[in-house]
Structure 1
Amino acid sequence: MPFSHDMVYSLTTAVDLLNTSPAAGGDEGLTSVEDLRTFVGRRVISDVENLDDRDLVEVRELRDEFYEVFTAPDRETAVSLLNTLLGRTRITPSLAEHDGFSLHIHYFAPGASLAEHLAADCGVALAHVLVEDERDRLRTCAAPDCAHVFVDESRNRSRVYCDSRTCGNRMHVAAYRARRRA
């Protein structure tokens, strides 16, 4: 994949956020401020202080907007949706080195809320995907009972399952059993 480590990290953060949504085929993954704190800790999101119910609501709304961008039916729709989202975001690029990560770029403005922080960093990463004409790497799991999203980082763009150990393995076992019955 032609993206730098920090772009891949931001895309992975976006995917992790999107897969907390009921739209991704499961239960609500952000039911409380504590769930939001866990997400922030898991993704090592810096410069995030006190989180409250307002942050939870804003992040859920942002998550829904990112899901629309990620699953947009065409490039033009994805670009329009992402431009709208980024247009509301204060973006202030700055170089940072923290938490064991090498030098990288943060795009969020100082003092930004968690939602604005995610909108800037993850939004810019998604913008790079669109600019590099790599939108086809933004995928939804091919397993019939899963709607999780993922970024296909494979060289030949062949990944079809969100996780090869769960959905992939389950689908391969089902296909094997079907062949054995035939």
Structure 2
Amino acid sequence: MLFSHDTELTLRAVSELVNSDRADGEQLVDLPALDAYLDRHGWTGRRDRDVAELAAVRRLRERLGRIWAAAGDEVDAVAQVNALLSDTRASPWLTRHPEMPEWHLHMASVDDPLWQRMGAEMAMALADLSRNRSGKFCDTGNCANRQHVAAYRERRAKK
């Protein structure tokens, strides 16, 4: 499946974020770890760099994990994506960056809180998954398989 450049990057960021507390334990242990994650995925705009921001990103991660887990239930997944779009007040925003000088669309202002920008962008990227109803998603970087393995390990650990 072909995605736009931004969608592909955002889906990779979603995958890493959702899996950041699953198979190998908590990866977002502190603010430097959050900064490293954000830098790896090219997140621009406002960063408060405080514990409240880290907690908000962890809450977003939990929410994205629930959306990902609902992938088999289209109605539930769509309802959750729509709720996330609403809660983040997603609003189209044209922008460009030094590393990407062409104008492109973001779903939030660079001045919005980090979790809100991330949530809006990630919800839009998730809305692009499996458009052709093939049931296949995010083959880029094999994140679907990583998600399934992480969920399997989590189920086994609870036994």
Q: Which residue of 2 aligns with 1:112?
A: 112
Between the two proteins, what is the percent identity of the paired residues? 26
Q: Cα distance, 1:160 vs. partner?
A: 7.1
Matched, 1:18 2:18: yes
Gaps of 5+ in 1: 139-150, 168-182
Alignment of structure 1 residues 72-83 onto 2, 5 Å: 72=70, 73-83=72-82
Alignment of structure 1 residues 155-170 onto 2, 5 Å: 161-162=145-146
Number of corresponding residues:
145
Q: Which residue of 1 aligns with 2:157?
A: none
Q: Which residue of 2 aligns with 1:152?
A: 139
Give the number of the structure whose residues are more often helix, by fraction.
2
Structure 2 counterpart of 1:136, one-letter code: G
Q: Cα distance, 1:95 vs. partner?
A: 2.0
Q: CA RMSD in A?
A: 2.5
* In 1, Cα distance between equivalents of 2:125 and 2:133: 12
Structure 1 counterpart of 2:15, one-letter code: V
Q: SS of the counterpart of 1:129?
A: coil
Q: Which residue of 2 aligns with 1:7?
A: 7
| 1:82-120 CA-partner distances (Å, limit 9, x unpaired) | 122221112221222214224321111342111101101
Q: Which has the higher contact order (CA 8 A, sep 6+)?
A: 2
Structure 2 counterpart of 1:83, one-letter code: N
Structure 1 counterpart of 2:63, one-letter code: E
Structure showing greater Rg: 1
| 1:26-50 CA-partner distances (Å, limit 9, x unpaired) | 2001111111111111111010333
Contact kept in structure 2, 1:94 and 1:105, CA below 8 Å = yes
| 1:94-147 CA-partner distances (Å, limit 9, x unpaired) | 2222142243211113421111011011111111225x2457234xxxxxxxxx
* In 1, Cα distance between equivalents of 2:122 and 2:92: 13
Contact kept in structure 1, 2:28 and 2:34, CA below 8 Å = yes
Q: Which residue of 2 aligns with 1:125?
A: 125
* In 2, Cα distance between equivalents of 1:32 and 1:159: 24
Deviates more, 1:110-119 or 1:92-101: 92-101
Runs of 4+ in 1 over 3 A off after TM superposition: 158-162
Q: Which residue of 2 aligns with 1:93?
A: 92
Q: Which residue of 2 aligns with 1:53?
A: 51
TM-score w.r.t. length of structure 2: 0.79
